A and B are shown apart, each in its own frame.
Chain A
Amino acid sequence: MNLKERIAKRVAKEFKPGNIVNLGIGLPTLVANYVPKEMNIFFHGENGVLGIGSEVSEEYANLNLTNAGGRFINTLPGAMTFDTAFSFALIRGGHLDYTVLGGLQVDEEGHLANWMVPGKLIPGMGGAMDLVTGAKKVIIAMTHTTKGKPKIVKKCNLPLTSSRRVDLIVTEYAVIEPTDEGLVLKEIAPDIKIDELKTITEAELIIPEDLKIMEL
């Protein structure tokens, strides 16, 4: 299992049967691979679908049915399609149980930056700002560092996605919960020591007595 699969597998444990979940593009999309069918999770795509099944190859595809990444999909029995206004009414209106998004930076206040690097990368926010603002729970699924640099920082220096505090950060080495007091380390991977984790984490981590080992 590579690092991204490890993150995806851990995120998938958060959901409860029947939840409505939006998975962001990239790493978060992998989370669906680790959700058992009997959980009856309704996956939402902001392009206008609730009840995404799986990706399908072009020869089996309806060209007018994709996920938010533009990949052809099928839908599960009970699915619904709709326009963008309704899609974001679900998002902003607090009807999504979870959104799982990638991140460029998360800081000690639990603020997320994931939509641009000024002067370098300007994809735009797409649906990310609405998702972070409106979903009941926001999970950030990202690698712990990028090119050796920490992504969990004291304060984001990239433009924020929202002023809302995210609910959980899952990396290949740790599960971290942003709280009023700061970032609480809930779980640590079995293949890293706390001191090593601290060297690759710029933000201060609060280590609780009941720290658990991440199940891989």
Chain B
Amino acid sequence: MKVVKAEEAISFVNDGDSIMIGGFLTVGTPETLIDELIKQNKKNLTIICNDTSFEDKGIGRLIFHKLAKKVITSHIGTNKETQRQYIEKELEVELVPQGTLIEQIRAGGVGLGGILTPTGIGTVVENGKQIIEIDNKKYILEKAIKGKVALVKAKRSDHLGNLQFEFTARNFNPIIAMAAELVIVEVDEIVPAGTFGPDDVHLPGALVDYVVIRRNEK
């Protein structure tokens, strides 16, 4: 783990990368890293996230600045711009049930090829996918998802990169950190190793590549 400035961390992101980003609406979203993606004008990104937040907040800003070519997400209802770009075919949107999406990412991070879920059976979600029957119940085979980069927001990190999340800001964050080649974490503070004990580490620092301290809110 290395502590770096946002500018340096985001310089490792390339145009066209698939990027997993934490957050539910705006909660648990690495805003400083998103600022930097916009500043460095990273383009043609495939963004994998729970929802596209709002036009002027969180992940929604990446959509507003047209940095994405594709979004894999469960909900775009709070962001009119995502819906507009989708309807006008400026942006590819793959809508995935929330529980399926997180489990596909989890599978990607834990060495599984995919998952079998009953969610979506008998709906448009099953179209084009393999259906597998086990003990007379139908399941959809949903393939694992991995990303090139994970942009994670944690409450704090110690100097070894061990992470703690807070309340509902945890959401996708620890899961995406398992499923990407490059893990960049934005934290509110960095504390000495040992400040929080083994039982209170939510994600081991060994999985973290770079830590960036969140810029103060304007």
Contact = CB atoms under 8 A, between A and B. Distances in A.
Interface string B84-110: 001100000001011110110010000
Interface string A48-61: 11000000000000
Given A122-B83, A122-B87, A64 B167 contact: yes
Cβ-closest 8 pairs across A and B: A163-B122, A123-B77, A88-B99, A130-B99, A64-B169, A70-B25, A129-B97, A65-B167
A206 interface: no
A64 B99 CA distance: 21
Q: Residue among A122, A128, A130 with the most chain B CB within 10 A?
A: A130
Nearest to A126: B75
Contact of A130 (B106, B119, B122): B119
A110 interface: no
Contact of A70 (B26, B87, B165, B174): B26
Interface of A: 45-49, 62-66, 68, 70, 81-85, 88, 91-92, 119, 122-130, 133-134, 159-163
Interface string B155-184: 100000000011111111111000000000
Interface string B66-89: 000000011111100001001100
B52 to A, nearest CB: 9
A84 B119 contact: no
Contacts of A45: 168
Contact of A84 (B75, B95, B172): B172
A62 B25 CA distance: 15
B117 interface: yes
A50 to B, nearest CB: 11
A88 B125 CA distance: 17
- Chain A at the B interface: SS class: loop
A133 B119 contact: yes
Nearest to B27: A66
A159 B102 CA distance: 22
Given A84-B172, A85-B106, A163-B123, A125 B167 contact: no
B124 interface: yes
A177 to B, nearest CB: 21
Contacts of A70: 24-27, 78
Contacts of B103: 85, 88
A126 B98 contact: yes
Contact of A81 (B98, B99, B167): B167
B196 to A, nearest CB: 16
Interface of B: 24-28, 50-51, 73-78, 83, 86-87, 95, 97-100, 102-103, 106, 117-125, 155, 165-175
B115 to A, nearest CB: 10
A121 B124 CA distance: 16
Contact of B175 (A63, A84, A163): A84
Contacts of B24: 47-48, 66, 68, 70, 84
A70 B98 CA distance: 16
A73 to B, nearest CB: 9
Nearest to B95: A124
B95 to A, nearest CB: 4
Contacts of A91: 99
27 contacts: A45-B168, A48-B167, A48-B171, A62-B167, A64-B27, A64-B167, A64-B168, A65-B167, A68-B24, A70-B24, A81-B167, A81-B168, A83-B165, A84-B99, A84-B175, A88-B103, A127-B97, A127-B98, A129-B97, A130-B98, A130-B99, A130-B100, A134-B99, A160-B124, A161-B123, A162-B123, A163-B123
A124 B76 contact: yes
Contacts of A88: 98-99, 102-103
Contact of B166 (A64, A85, A133): A64
Given A91-B99, A123-B76, A129 B120 contact: yes
A159 B126 CA distance: 12
Contacts of A119: 87
Contacts of A123: 75-78, 83
A63 B106 CA distance: 26
